[in-house]
Amino acid sequence: MKVFKGLSVLMISVLLIACAESEPTKLTNIKGLIPDLEFELSDENNKLVTAKGYLGSTVAVFFGFTSCPDICPTTMHQFASILKRVGEPAKSVKVLFVSVDPKRDSAEKLKKYTEIFGPAFIGLRGEDSTIKEMTKRYRVTFGYGDEDKEGNYEVSHSGAMFIFDVRGKARLLVTQGSSPENIVMDLHALLEETI
């Protein structure tokens, strides 16, 4: 047991040093930490889509809901302007907005919502259990607050955006605290495959 303990401490140090020195990204590098892109959901046109269909594109995944008052619209607007700043290479980027509130987010509602941000943004939805499975895969979660008289309720959800490369490998994590400059720089590098 004691050997295991001693080894654990050593392993943590080694792992952390390895993480810190792997690749020079400004954002959190999640290569190897998070599993590859995988899902089977329906898109905003009610078509069944899978992760394989997006291979070849750099994909950003965000778990949100259209009635979200703050984090979702802010993040989407910020990312839309980042794609503009990256310019031509960003044309191959797809932003998948996965609804964690499929009860209220119909396909039509999702479509109207993502249209505001541009053609790169695609709304996805699925059964509650499918979404739960997908969020679990990426170690994120969501939960619902109590309904008020009008039937509205709060939703707790991840504020992060996971960026996958053209091969569907997890690469970067954009958090609420990430600066736009860093996102632009790393996204650029990822698109040009220099990181």
> Residue numbers of the site for another protein (CB under 8 A)?
1-6, 8-9, 11-12, 15-16, 19, 28, 30, 33-34, 63, 135, 139-145, 154-160, 173, 175-177
Kind and range of the H or E run holding 50: strand 48-50
Nearer to another protein among residue 65 and residue 107 (C-beta): 65
Q: How far is the CB of 145 from another protein (least distance, A)?
A: 4
Nearer to another protein among residue 46 and residue 175 (C-beta): 175
Q: Could you give the CA distance from residue 106 to residue 125 in angstroms, rounded to a whole number?
A: 8
Tokens of 51: 């992760």
Q: Could you give the CA distance from residue 103 to residue 57 in angstroms, rounded to a whole number?
A: 29
Nearer to another protein among residue 156 and residue 179 (C-beta): 156
Residue 145 CB burial class (10 angstroms; 0-12, 13-18, ≥19): exposed
Q: Could you give the CA distance from residue 158 to residue 18 in angstroms, rounded to a whole number?
A: 26
Nearer to another protein among residue 54 and residue 63 (C-beta): 63
Q: β-pairing, 58-64 with 48-50?
A: unpaired
What number of CA atoms fall less than 13 Å from residue 173's CA on the CB side?
16
Q: How far is the CB of 12 from another protein (least distance, A)?
A: 7
Nearer to another protein among residue 62 and residue 107 (C-beta): 62
Phi-psi sector, 151: left (phi>0), alpha (psi -120 to 50), beta: left
Q: How far is the CB of 160 from another protein (least distance, A)?
A: 4
Q: How far is the CB of 183 from another protein (least distance, A)?
A: 15
Q: How far is the CB of 107 from another protein (least distance, A)?
A: 23
Q: By C-alpha distance, which of 123, 79, 77 is closest to 98?
A: 123
Q: How far is the CB of 16 from another protein (least distance, A)?
A: 6
Nearer to another protein among residue 86 and residue 173 (C-beta): 173
